[in-house]
Amino acid sequence: IEESELGILKNSDRRKYKEEEGLTSDKIIGLRTAILNFITGGCIRILQNGGNPRGKSNKFSFIIHTEISKSSHTRQENIIEELLLQLKNEAQKKDTSLLDKFIENSYFNMIQSVEKYGFEIPSLDEVIGYVKTAIKNEWLSKVIVNSENDINTLLDDDGQLRLRTPLNIFIGGQILDRGITINNLIGFYYGRNPNKMQQDTVLQHSRMYGYRSEKDLAVTRFYTTKNLYEKMSQINDFDAKLREDFEQGNFDKGIIFISTDSNGKITPCSPQKIRISNTQFLKEGKTITPIGFQTGYKTHIKDYVKEIDKILRENNKGELKGKFTISKDEACKIIELIYKTIKIENDNCVNKNTFISLINYLSSSGKINVYCGIDRNIARLRATSRYYSDMPYNRDNDLRQAKELASKEPTLMLMRQNGLKDNGWMDAEFYWPVLVVQNNVPKAVYTSEVLK
């Protein structure tokens, strides 16, 4: 989901979004898609269970958890109430081509994972009919769960949030973080972005974890921003390594926590001082890639690009493209020049100091492998979304060869992009760097931002 969508769900501002445009506006496309997927996924599960929407096994839940303020919860409830009303009006029409298209999109999203599990799949016509019935007969309920509620009135005899209808939407903040069990949770729209992104706090927010049957899991979906997803992915890397060490008894090595001091030197640091933001988990084969930037104008950056060309040609017999080695100092010089050609737009983009520090940390011999590709035309944004492209190389060819090079020393991939305007750039050639961690490197967590 887009960061701008979270802003719409936070404050009432009709200049940014009008509730009556719920079925057509791109400004809440993430939330609309999430709710339609939830209805569709719930109906698929009900059909798999025989088609009768009664009983505990046929009651499903969906959480919206983006803000702790009560005014935001009210705003979200109003948006959802209007959206459900518009869906009901659409379902009662003879010509419901718009709703049919929404349901069809959700259906084909859901059946990808249902097919992977090998479960039975109801037909598209059957699901369309059930979704319309669910909407017209108001199988959906919405409840705000925050400190204004008497929580006891919302709980069932087992101490779980009561599922009153087949499809239940819960909107809330801190009370949803922890302490309340929510049964049959198959949808989670998450946007909490605390100032201090610490691992234990985020895991407490993350209610998508926890047991559910595989049939429920097949229709479970999680919605968040790209930045939050990347932070959760880092948490997963840390946790997976800890689990691996525990299972294999590798407590003699553990994980090294490192940061840079005021002079830019890599030093050990306490795990308690690590923030998830601007953090890199180093393991063999890991790639460190700047993601989320624009280049400068051609007239401003062309001399820097020529200087990089000169360094590479001097080390590769007059050629740019190829596989060769350069000194660590030359690698750092190239990174210095590259960051003069780009303007970072994403808070989580790897910055210059981090990139150079990692080169210095990983290179033990004073040499760096280089894999240089030329004449590349990667688009600035992904074709299927408005998110930044994150892979300036070909995985099967470029990355494979770069990893083969990174046996004892890291590989610096330098993908020389044409930077065409048609691809979202500034019509200026530039280098996109990627650092590939070598084999047998000690597992380490590196941060450029240490809590004071």
Cβ-contact 338, 433 below 8 angstroms = yes
Instruction: List the structure tokens of 232.
Output: 């959760």
In a domain, 244, yes or no: no
Report whether 147 contacts 175 (CB < 8 A).
yes
Q: Does residue 153 belong to any structural domain of this protein?
A: yes
The answer as to whether 20 is a domain residue is yes
pLDDT of residue 294: 96
Same domain, yes or no: 215 and 261: no
In which residue are the tokens 């819960």 written?
170
Residue 39 has which token pair? 């209805």
Q: How far, in Å, CA of 69 to CA of 88, rounded?
A: 29
Q: Which of 334, 304, 318, 307 is nearest to 412 (CA)?
A: 334
**Terminal-to-terminal C-alpha distance of the chain:** 32
Q: Is residue 426 part of a domain?
A: yes
| Strand 256-260 relative to strand 444-447, pairing | parallel
Which residues of the chain fall below pLDDT 70? 147-152, 159, 174-179, 194-209, 242-243, 245-278, 384-385, 448-452
- 177 and 268 in one domain? no
Show the domain range for 140.
3-224
Regarding whether 266 and 202 lie in a shared domain, the answer is: no
| Number of structural domains found in the chain | 2
Last residue of a domain, one of 224, 247, 282: 224
- Give Cα separations from 56 to 119, 162, 239 (angstroms): 20, 10, 33
Q: Give the CA radius of gyration of the chain.
A: 25
**Which residues is 171 bridged to in the sheet?**
64, 144
Single-letter amino acid code for the residue at 259: S
285 and 144 assigned to the same domain: no
Integer Cα distance of 19 and 131 in angstroms:
22
Shared-domain flag, residues 57 and 168: yes
- Contact at 8 Å (CB) between 238 and 445? yes
Contact 410, 359 (CB under 8 A): yes
DSSP run (H or E) holding 321 = none
**Count of CA atoms in the C-beta half-sphere (13 A) of 389:** 18
Q: Which of 422, 423, 433, 341 has its CA nearest to residue 382?
A: 423
pLDDT of residue 229: 84
Phi, psi angles (nearest 5°) of residue 450? -100, 135
- What secondary structure letter does DSSP report for 397? I
Residues 192 and 261 in one domain: no
Residue 264 pairs in a beta bridge with none
Task: Give the integer Cα–Cα distance in Å for 348 and 333.
Answer: 23
213/276 same-domain check = no
Query: What pLDDT score does 49 carry?
Result: 94
Question: By C-alpha distance, which of 203, 150, 147, 207 is closest to 174?
Answer: 147
* pTM metric for this prediction: 0.69
| Domain stops at, among 175, 202, 224 | 224
Among 170, 201, 224, the domain-final residue is 224
Encoded tokens for 123: 């037909």
Same domain, 283 and 358: yes
Instruction: Check residue 451 and give its pLDDT.
Output: 44
